[in-house]
Amino acid sequence: MEVANELHAKMDEVSKDAEPSFKFRAFSESRLILQYISVEINMVTKILSYMNLLSKYIEDLIRKTSRFHIL
């Protein structure tokens, strides 16, 4: 949320003396940027959960193979 507030503050500062069409475009672009950030955060969250599952699988595999002194 801090990122969104900071982004909107910067866009407001940039567009305060601009034409109304630029202000609308700036708001629209900042909204798209926030949507992109949200998608990226969701992707990172999924990747981290997959990494966690993979880590558990690898730990289990190492534990099983170490009993047979393969490693």
- pLDDT, tens digit, for every residue of 1-52? 566 667 667 666 666 665 555 555 666 777 788 888 888 998 999 999 999 9
pTM of the predicted structure, to 2 decimals: 0.46
Distance of CA 21 to the CA centre of its chain: 30
For helices 20-67 and 2-15, the axis angle rounded to 10 degrees is 150
Alpha carbons 31 and 8: distance in angstroms, whole number: 9
What is the C-alpha separation between 5 and 56, in angstroms, rounded? Answer: 38
